[in-house]
Amino acid sequence: MTPHKLRSVLLDTRLLGLSCAEWTAFGLYLLFLALVVPHHEPWADEAQAWLIARDLPLPGIFHQAGYEGTPALWFCLLKVLCWLHTPYLGMRWLSAASAATGVFLFLRYSRFPLPLKLLLPFTFWIQYQYAVVSRNYVLFVPLLFAVAALYRERWRRFILLSLAMAALAQVSTHALLFSGSLAVVLAWELWQKGAAKLVSIRRLRLGALIIAAALAFAYWTARPPHDVTSTALSGNRFAHYPMLVRTAIYALRGFRAFSFSFSLWPVLSGIALVSLIVTLYLCRRLALLLPFLGIWMLEGFVWQGWHAGLLFVSFVGIVWMALADLPPTGLTPPVARATPNADKPEVPGTPAQGWKRAFGLFGPMRNALLTVLFAGAVLQLPWTWFAMTSDRSETYCPSQRVAAFLQQQAGKRIYGFRYQSVAILPYFERNIFANQNMAHAYWHWGIDNHNDDPSTISSAPPDIAVIGWSRASGVEPRDVPLSEVQKALLANGYAITREFCGSMFMRNEVSLRPCFELYERKQ
């Protein structure tokens, strides 16, 4: 077979919009998921969402979502699984299906160069963290990519775009910020160019109503109640600083999060950021930086390593949308349409001479941006390999083993302490911890939660006490100060009889070790 014919077979022959090369990449992506997903043991955050969906009706889910600090879409999808009597571990396949949908949309509709398009699905966040780990963030990839796919024809398909943005807002607080900021960008474009030139008034009103209602509903469900006790939702250690100082600190912490998500080298992350800003400026899409900055500042406010990948996914989505109005190859700007609602995307209103001057720099900057993104994707491949192989060969969270042991302790009085203990409860039909609210098994982040009250140990001594906790991989247990519950257990004659530990993988290292200590009275 000649090279020309081979290229034609790989790239030109299409099925459902994907070439042979793209179908091969998609098949490999599915294969890697199928090899890892059955071995993944859900940890506390994954279990918490399942327990909320299992133990609460829909109105209760929307109320509890505020204590979790997130909209309720993921809980509602899990509720459907519960209605269908799907076993707990079936949640992992919903997560994998969501991620696979996002990758299909990316391969089908993105306009990246083929090598970059084939490589990005296998980056750490898309292949592992937001695919194997079953949290609400797995919905961010498919819904953001759906928005990016529709953005090129945003005015001709404004209702579909509005629905995609509405669904995206229900995923998480990060997604709510992204969707709301993108709505501001669209409103700015409408004001700049005149709404009548872009979309019919009827579609504009309906789409705006959908977006506004979705943003308001997502904010209503995610807004933390006054009695919330989660430190991530109720306070920030920089709150006493002046506003300008706080903003600068959040911006720097946001860069740390972006660098954490992009590569091991902050310099490369900085180059990627500068390339994005300059490219957006040259192609008259600088306003698209606003949704990215929304997630950036939120990550600076509440730093969590597993959230940081949303910055990388957002980066990919912004680049996709910024280049959507441009041809996939070459440096010639698209032709401005003369009639409203035409199929071709509209070029921002700039004089032709201005475009010629801008494209003198735009071509190299666009190539630099795509090259840096390609380099970042290559550097993430070892992260993906480490996490995928480790999750198959090691224990991510030992909750299933602890549950199997406790199932053999019939008739014994069992107490559970600390939030991480919820990881055990999905393997039981009800809450087995006698010191907790027996009406439900999820952890309630309210001031009326007395699960960790150490006085119950002396007033009604348990047969077995389970303490779930997580420590950084480099911290030894002896270096962690004893909690009040541990002190009470030791004072009442208890000792550790069993300990189960796992390894949570983040990038190319073990970030946390979730452990469960089982205390019993000394003989």
One DSSP character per residue, 274-325 reads: HHHHHHHHHTT-GGGHHHHHHHHHHHHHS--HHHHHHHHHHHHHHHHHHTTT
- What's the pLDDT score for residue 330? 37
Question: 324 and 345 in contact (C-beta within 8 Å)?
Answer: yes
> Which of 137-146, 181-190, 231-240, 419-428 comes out lowest in average pLDDT?
231-240
Instruction: Identify which of 124-138, 453-467, 501-515 has the greatest average pLDDT.
Output: 124-138
- What's the pLDDT score for residue 32? 95
- What's the pLDDT score for residue 2? 62
pTM of this prediction exceeds 0.85: yes
The whole-number average pLDDT for the span 245-260 is 84
464 pLDDT band, cuts 50/70/90, is very high
| Ramachandran area for residue 386 (φ above 0: left; ψ -120 to 50: alpha; else beta) | alpha
What is the rounded average pLDDT for all residues in the chain?
Answer: 85
3-state secondary structure of 514: strand
pLDDT of 7 higher than 70: no
355 pLDDT band, cuts 50/70/90, is very low
- C-alpha–C-alpha distance, residues 461 and 447, integer Å: 24
Percent of the chain topping pLDDT 70 = 87
The whole-number average pLDDT for the span 27-56 is 94
> Which of 62-66, 224-228, 325-329, 395-399 comes out lowest in average pLDDT?
325-329
Percent of the chain topping pLDDT 90 = 53
117, two tokens? 């398009």
- What's the pLDDT score for residue 353? 44
233 pLDDT band, cuts 50/70/90, is low
The whole-number average pLDDT for the span 112-125 is 94
Question: 43 and 399 in contact (C-beta within 8 Å)?
Answer: yes
The whole-number average pLDDT for the span 363-384 is 91
> Which of 14-18, 47-51, 181-185 comes out lowest in average pLDDT?
14-18
∠ CA 365-188-354, rounded to 5°:
40
- What's the pLDDT score for residue 360? 61
- What's the pLDDT score for residue 349? 41
- What's the pLDDT score for residue 481? 81
- What's the pLDDT score for residue 231? 61
Which ranges of 134-237 does DSSP label H, i.e. alpha helix?
A: 140-151, 158-169, 173-193, 201-222, 231-234
pLDDT of 264 higher than 70: yes
- What's the pLDDT score for residue 168? 96
- C-alpha–C-alpha distance, residues 505 and 502, integer Å: 10
- What's the pLDDT score for residue 482? 83
Instruction: Identify which of 337-346, 368-377, 451-460 has the greatest average pLDDT.
Output: 368-377
The whole-number average pLDDT for the span 410-437 is 91
- What's the pLDDT score for residue 338? 40
pLDDT of 356 higher than 70: no
- What's the pLDDT score for residue 477? 67
